[in-house]
Copies of this chain bind each other. A is one copy, B any other.
Amino acid sequence: MKDFNYYAPTEVVFGEQSEEQVARLVKKYGGTKVLVHYGGQSAVRSGLLDKVCRLLEKDNIAYITLGGVVPNPRLSLAKQGIELCRRESVDFILAVGGGSVIDSAKCIAYGVCFKGDVWDIYLGKAKPSTMLPVASVLTIPAAGSEMSEASVITNEDGDVKLGYSNDMSRPKFAIMNPCRTFTLPPYQTAAGVTDMMMHTMERYFTKDDDMDLTTDIAEATLRRMKTAIFAVLKNPEDYRNRAQIMWGGSVMHNGLTGCGVSDDWATHQLEHELSGMFDVTHGAGLAAIWPSWARYVMHENLSRFVRFAVNVMDVPNDFTDPEGTALKGIEAMERFYHAIGMPINIKELIGRDITDEEIKEMARKCSRNYTHTCGCLKVLHAEDMENIYQMAKG
């Protein structure tokens, strides 16, 4: 069994009244001058941004705001934020939004305390020694960034999307009010659930079969998300199921579902190139890649794909035909993706045929000019990446 560290120090404050505690929590974690970071107009229109600012004012906490974060958050805006925070002596960054806003906030928080170019951190050329504290008022359950150590930033200069992980970036607190997710459109809701399930699936499909408790918990969370998504697609104001999804997004990416097992992340890395090139929704991109990835790698640990088919996808176990059962599990996942409005290949994702040149270009980027591999269950070289993209063409 793999040794592991588990560290998820974020204080979660969950429920309908949770936002009321924002000023108390900022103070508790040492914030005196806050950057309130947000995305587009939805935080303004919903009144959430105004509410957060009013609560900070009421408690005499100084703040400035910076909006404009887009999905696949951009390095350029983060650099603007870094300059702004330095100029204004900001000591705490509060993200009001979803994973993109939180990831952008983490990038800013690294950059403010870092002398060089913050992009070097994402390139793996430099390691930050300290950063500003980050916290969030979450509005989109998906990325899990509200409790995770990860952030992903896109450098528009070359459409390169890179992730960086450091325990120090785990947010101080996360305020989660499921009501704030009632207005999420069906597509975004489904893409979010796809993303959070994938965070656990990236840890579930492993060669380490001996950390049973982690696997049991992973399956329990995956099954629950499968049920909850249909309930909220039917009734967007279903508080109970919005709550399962919101809490699920955190639990499935805070490390719990990866204790004692290797993690893979190939599907995420293959998808990063898709959203880097076509600016598609991350969760939808994952759905477009995963079935092909799964078929490509399943023989590396067939029994795990059988287990997934039976325990998560409710496929009857044909004990005489493990491969058939495993494949039925992948097919069941494809039906699930379609049922929640997600694509299962690249053609469905981008609305046209992808060209062989585009595939080659993605494989080149994903392998960083043929110098890097990705994945762990099966280590994927550029050629494997190209094969999987080809299988996923549709």
Contacts and interface: CB of A to CB of B under 8 A. Distances in A.
Contacts of A224: 212-213, 216
Interface in A15-31: 15-18
Closest 5 CB pairs of A and B: A3-B15, A9-B9, A216-B220, A6-B12, A220-B220
Nearest to A247: B213
A346 interface: no
Contacts of A244: 211-213
A136 to B, nearest CB: 14
Contact of A7 (B12, B213, B228): B12
A16 B11 CA distance: 29
Interface in A324-345: none
A222 to B, nearest CB: 10
Contacts of A18: 3
A184 interface: no
A261 to B, nearest CB: 12
A13 to B, nearest CB: 5
Contacts of A216: 220-221, 223-224
Interface in A207-256: 210-213, 216-217, 219-221, 223-224, 227-228, 239-240, 243-244, 247-248, 251, 256
Contact of A260 (B2, B3, B14): B14
Contact of A1 (B2, B15, B227): B15
Contacts of A259: 14, 247
Contacts of A14: 3-6, 259-260
Contact of A12 (B5, B213, B227): B5
